[in-house]
Amino acid sequence: MLNLKNRSGEEVSHNVYWISPDGGLRSLNQLAETNINVSLLKEEKGKIDHGWTMRITNPSSKIAFFIRPQLISQGEEVLPSFWSKGYFTLAPGESTELNVTCPAAKLNDSEPVLRVSGWNVPVTEVGLKNR
């Protein structure tokens, strides 16, 4: 992993590189399964857009690879939805905060769900408020 910080110590870039002795990616299939924790931090309900801020934490001693967050409403992914980050990796014990916004009209007054999955992370769903 490579983290780039500015002079005040704020992270401005987080990159993960996979280096394999044989130059292939097959060893990714042998990653041990791990679980993550998802915490809803804030909801912002506007007339035009709705948004949520959440924290995703890897409490395990294993890497959580290629994590994909999705906003789901009535069983379908909400499109468009605008994420502050997606397809990211968390080292053991690492956390990240992310934001998502979407047009309020796309939710159809339903209770949206945050779905998070990853290469070696089983699907986790957390209900989001929409009221």
- The angle formed by the CA atoms of residues 28, 2 and 92, to the nearest 5 degrees, is 55
- The angle formed by the CA atoms of residues 36, 1 and 67, to the nearest 5 degrees, is 30
Domain that includes residue 57, residue range: 32-127
- Look at residue 26 and give its three-state secondary structure: helix
pTM passes above 0.75: yes
CA distance 28 to 105: 39
Q: Is 68 within 8 Å of 116 (Cβ atoms)?
A: yes
In a domain, 107, yes or no: yes
Q: What is the CATH number of the domain that holds 73?
A: 2.60.40.10
Q: How many domains does the chain have?
A: 1
In a domain, 82, yes or no: yes
In a domain, 79, yes or no: yes
pLDDT in tens, 21-75: 777 888 889 999 999 999 999 999 999 999 999 999 999 999 999 999 999 999 9
In a domain, 12, yes or no: no
